[in-house]
Amino acid sequence: MLTPTTTTTASASPLRLLSFCLSKPSVSLSKTPLSSLSKSSTFPQSSRPLSLHKPPMSWLGKLGFGTTKSPEPTMDSSSIAQGPDDDIPAPGQQFAQFGAGCFWGVELAFQRIPGVTRTEVGYTQGFLHNPSYNDVCSGTTNHSEVVRVQYDPKECSFETLLDMFWARHDPTTLNRQNERAPSILSSRDKSAQGQGGKAPLRQVYRPTATPSNHLGEPFVRGNDVGTQYRSGIYFYTPEQEKAALESLERQQKLLNRKIVTEILPAKKFYRAEEYHQQYLAKGGRFGFKQSSEKGCNDPIRCYG
C-alpha cells in the first residue's frame, strides 16, 4: 500500500529552498534590454572611464561660479569654436584679443586707455561651441579668458595695447597669473594731458621700476590656476602679429625668466555672461565701483 507524502515549507531544508530560489530568477539579466535596466536602476550610468584626475578649480569657482560638469566637445562644435572670429568691429575700428589672467581686472585696465571704444570679456581658443563659465572652469575645454578690445587706430595704436598687456601681468607664469604693479602713464603723457593738449598717439604705460603692487610688495601670487588663465595675444591681422612678436622679443630682453605668452590668430570669440561684463566698473563683489575713466591710474582691485 502506497503511503501518501506531503511536503511543507516547514519541513524543507533551508539550503534546498535557497537553491530553488537561485535556480529560477524572476528577471533574466541576459535577456533584459540594458535600456530597461537603466530606467529602473538607481545607480548612475556613465560611459566615461573611471579617472582619479580632478581638474583645477579657480578661486572664483570656490565662490560658487563654475561647479558643474561641462559637456564633451563634438567634431562639429570644435570646428566652429576653432574657426575665426567672424564678428565685425564698428566702422573705422579694429579688434584685438588679450588673455592675462582673470579678465575682470584686465578689462578695466583696457577700458581706461584713450582710443579704446569698447571692451568685452569672453572665451576663445577652445574646442567647445558656446561654452559657459562653468564649462571653462572645468579645465576640459581649453578656452582662455580674454578681453576683446575695440579701438580706434587713429587715437590708439596696437603698440599701446601691447604696452598695457605686458604691464598688467607677469608673462612668465604658466597657467597662473601674478598681478604686477599698477601701470602708470609716462611723465610725458601726464604733462600733455595736464596742459589740456590732445594725448599723444602712443601713450606708453609702464610698470613701476621694481615689480610690486601698490603697497610696495613683490608680485602677488595669483589665486586663479588653470589653462584658462594663460597669457596670450590673439591677432586679427598680419600687422598685429608682427607687432606682437617684436614686442615679445623686446620684453624678453628685460626679464630673467622665459616668457610663456602664446601669440596665435584670433579665433571665435564667445561673449561671457552679462554679470562678467565691466564687472569691476559696476562694483564687483562688494559694490565698490572702480573708475573706468580714460587715463585713470587708480590701483585696480582685481576681485572688487
Q: What is the pLDDT of residue 61?
A: 52
Whether residue 137 contacts residue 226, with contact meaning beta carbons closer than 8 Å, is answered with yes
Q: Is the pLDDT of residue 214 over 80?
A: no
Q: Is the pLDDT of residue 52 over 50?
A: no
Whether residue 55 contacts residue 139, with contact meaning beta carbons closer than 8 Å, is answered with yes
> What is the 8-class DSSP label of residue 276?
G
Task: Show the DSSP H helices in the chain as ranges.
Answer: 14-23, 34-40, 75-81, 103-111, 133-137, 158-168, 187-194, 238-254
The cell numbers describing 277, all together, are: 561684463
Q: Roughly what angle, to the nearest 10 degrees, separates helices 158-168 and 103-111?
A: 140
- Number of other residues whose CB lies within 10 A of the CB of residue 269: 21
User: How many angstroms separate the CA atoms of 225 and 302, rounded?
Assistant: 15
% of the chain with per-residue pLDDT over 70: 61
Mean pLDDT of 66-70: 51
Mean pLDDT of 261-289: 96
Q: Is the pLDDT of residue 289 over 80?
A: yes
Q: Is the pLDDT of residue 157 over 60?
A: yes
User: How many angstroms separate the CA atoms of 128 and 204, rounded?
Assistant: 37
Q: What is the DSSP string of 54-74?
A: -----TTGGGTSS-SPPPPP-
pLDDT in tens, 225-242: 899 999 999 999 999 999
User: How many angstroms separate the CA atoms of 290 and 299, rounded?
Assistant: 9
The cell numbers describing 216, all together, are: 610696495
Put simply, whether the predicted model's pTM sits higher than 0.85 gets the answer: no
How far from chain centre, in Å, is Cα 235?
18
Whether residue 296 contacts residue 112, with contact meaning beta carbons closer than 8 Å, is answered with yes
Return the domain boundaries, the chain. Answer: 94-276
Q: Residue 303's pLDDT band (boundaries 50, 70, 90)?
A: confident
Please count the CA atoms within 13 angstroms of the CA of 73 that sit on its side-chain side: 22
Mean pLDDT of 6-21: 48
- Beta strand 262-265 with 116-124 is unpaired
Q: Is the pLDDT of residue 2 over 70?
A: no
Mean pLDDT of 137-157: 97
Rounded to 10 degrees, the C-alpha dihedral 203/299/166/120 comes to -90
Q: What angle do CA 211, 212, 217 make, to 5 degrees?
A: 140
- Closest among 284, 296, 60, 293 to 182, alpha carbons compared: 296
Residues forming the active site: 102
Mean pLDDT of 184-195: 38
Whether residue 89 contacts residue 151, with contact meaning beta carbons closer than 8 Å, is answered with no
Q: Is the pLDDT of residue 17 over 90?
A: no
Q: What is the pLDDT of residue 253?
A: 96
Q: Residue 69's pLDDT band (boundaries 50, 70, 90)?
A: low
User: How many angstroms separate the CA atoms of 274 and 270, rounded?
Assistant: 12
Whether residue 169 contacts residue 110, with contact meaning beta carbons closer than 8 Å, is answered with no
Q: What is the pLDDT of residue 73?
A: 64
In the chain the first and final C-alpha atoms are separated, in Å, by 101
Beta bridge partners of 225: 176
pLDDT in tens, 84-109: 999 999 999 999 999 999 999 999 99
Q: What is the pLDDT of residue 149?
A: 98
Give phi and psi for 224, each to the nearest 5: -95, 130
CATH topology assigned to domain 94-276:
Peptide Methionine Sulfoxide Reductase; Chain A (3.30.1060)
Whether residue 270 contacts residue 131, with contact meaning beta carbons closer than 8 Å, is answered with yes
Q: Residue 13's pLDDT band (boundaries 50, 70, 90)?
A: low
% of the chain with per-residue pLDDT over 90: 55
Whether residue 225 contacts residue 207, with contact meaning beta carbons closer than 8 Å, is answered with no
* Lowest-confidence segment of 12-21, 132-141, 217-226, 272-281 by average pLDDT: 12-21
